[in-house]
């Protein structure tokens, strides 16, 4: 058992190192300071033990996309908050899960509708927390096809940003997107950067651009991402969901 654990630690260390090098290389290519890019390691489907190993390797930002799993993992790893560990919720939030998500998430990357702003705001207030929120932007070409509600339409982002900025218990951090498969990531993240600039012109403190995953983090860093959300490249290919 001890042998297995240390093998996992060695694997995570090597993977983390490789991802950090990719981020550093992308920053160098873009003339950016690597200190301006936060690596959020997405631990969905992986056990709390991996969170502990990664925290031991210096990771402080963890991402999850399903409420129940996230809530349990955050609880099991509650002691790590003393080290500065923060939880990022990156998946779709059902309105009836807002209360739960607001109880442990430090950052919600996926705010895409006014009803969710209201639900998160009252939930955060109820537990006396301040939750940073990002507006998730849909970068799809076909504006009519908002399949499974993956983000707000670009023309709706300013209104959502204003609502977040004025909502008690919430703090507007910036924007987030997932590059659609149908689009070149460089083009997708350029679109996101334009939306981010609009948000920042109205809300100068809202400088977060959450973009880039295992497969496209270089394009995201090139377009100004401040946060990359990486799962597979650090933890390996996820076990299939049960």
Ligand X SMILES: *Cc1c(COP(=O)(O)O)cnc(C)c1O
Residues numbered 54 to 113 that lie near ligand X (CB under 6 A) are 65, 90-91
Q: Which range binds ligand X by CB under 6 A, 76-84, 94-102, 185-193, 212-220?
A: 212-220
Among 120, 213, 221, 225, binds ligand X (CB under 6 A): 213
Which burial class, exposed, middle or buried, applies to 165 when counting CB atoms under 10 A from its CB (0-12, 13-18, 19+)? middle
Q: CB of 100: closest distance to ligand X in angstroms?
A: 18
Please say which residue, 103 or 214, places its beta carbon nearer to ligand X: 214
Is residue 230 a contact point for ligand X (CB under 6 A)? Answer: yes
CB of 213 to ligand X, least distance (A): 4
Q: Give residues 14-43 in contact with ligand X (rule: CB under 6 A).
A: 42
Nearer to ligand X, 169 or 231 (CB): 231
Determine the angle formed by the axes of helices 185-202 and 154-165, rounding to 10 degrees.
Answer: 40
Q: Residue count at the site for ligand X (CB under 6 A)?
A: 14
| Contact range with ligand X by CB under 6 A, out of 167-175, 183-191, 192-200, 208-216 | 208-216
232 binding ligand X? (CB under 6 A): yes
Taking CB under 6 A as the binding criterion, the range among 10-18, 151-159, 164-172, 226-234 that sits at the site for ligand X is 226-234
Single out the segment in contact with ligand X by CB under 6 A; choices: 144-152, 182-190, 192-200, 224-232.
224-232
Alpha carbons 11 and 9: distance in angstroms, whole number: 5
**Does 178 interact with ligand X (rule: CB under 6 A)?**
yes
Does residue number 137 form part of the binding site for ligand X (CB under 6 A)?
no
Nearer to ligand X, 169 or 179 (CB): 179
Q: Indicate the residue whose CB is closest to ligand X.
A: 231
Q: Is 229 in the site for ligand X (CB under 6 A)?
A: yes
User: CB under 6 A: which stretch of 11-19, 66-74, 157-165, 210-218 binds ligand X?
Assistant: 210-218
Helices 154-165 and 114-126 cross at an angle (nearest 10°) of 20
Secondary structure string (H, E, C) spanning the chain: CHHHHHHHHHHHHHHHHHHHHHHHHHHHHHCCCHHHCEEEEECCCCCHHHHHHHHHCCCCEEEECCHHHHHHHHHHCHHHHHHCCEEEECCCCCHHHHHHHHHHCCEEEEECCHHHHHHHHHHHHHCCCCEEEEEEECCCCCCCCCHHHCCECHHHHHHHHHHHHCCCCEEEEEEECCCCCCCCHHHHHHHHHHHHHHHHHHCCCCCEEECCCCCCHHHHHHCCCCEEEECHHHHCCCCCCC
Name the site residues for ligand X (rule: CB under 6 A). Answer: 42, 44, 65, 90-91, 178, 213-215, 229-233
């Amino acid at each position: 058992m001890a042998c297995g654990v240390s093998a996992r630690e060695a694997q995570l260390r090597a993977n983390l190192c490789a991802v950090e090098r990719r981020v550093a290389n992308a920053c160098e290519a873009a003339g950016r300071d690597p200190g301006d890019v936060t690596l959020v390691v997405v631990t969905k489907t992986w056990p709390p033990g991996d969170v502990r190993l990664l925290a031991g390797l210096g990771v402080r930002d963890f991402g999850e996309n399903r409420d129940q799993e996230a809530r349990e993992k955050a609880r099991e790893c509650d002691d790590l908050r003393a080290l500065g560990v923060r939880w990022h919720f990156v998946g779709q939030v059902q309105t009836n899960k807002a209360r739960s998500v607001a109880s442990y998430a430090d950052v919600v990357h996926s705010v895409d509708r006014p009803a969710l702003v209201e639900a998160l705001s009252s939930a955060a207030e109820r537990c006396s927390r301040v939750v940073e929120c990002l507006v998730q932007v849909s970068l799809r070409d076909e504006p009519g096809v908002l399949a499974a509600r993956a983000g707000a339409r670009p023309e709706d982002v300013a209104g959502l940003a204003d609502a977040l900025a004025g909502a008690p218990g919430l703090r507007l951090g910036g924007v987030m997107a997932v590059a659609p498969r149908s689009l070149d990531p460089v083009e997708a993240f350029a679109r996101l950067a334009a939306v981010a600039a609009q948000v920042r012109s109205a809300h100068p403190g809202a400088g977060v651009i959450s973009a880039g995953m295992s497969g496209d983090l270089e394009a995201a860093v090139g377009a100004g991402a401040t946060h990359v959300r990486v799962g597979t490249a650090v933890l390996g290919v996820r076990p299939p969901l049960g």
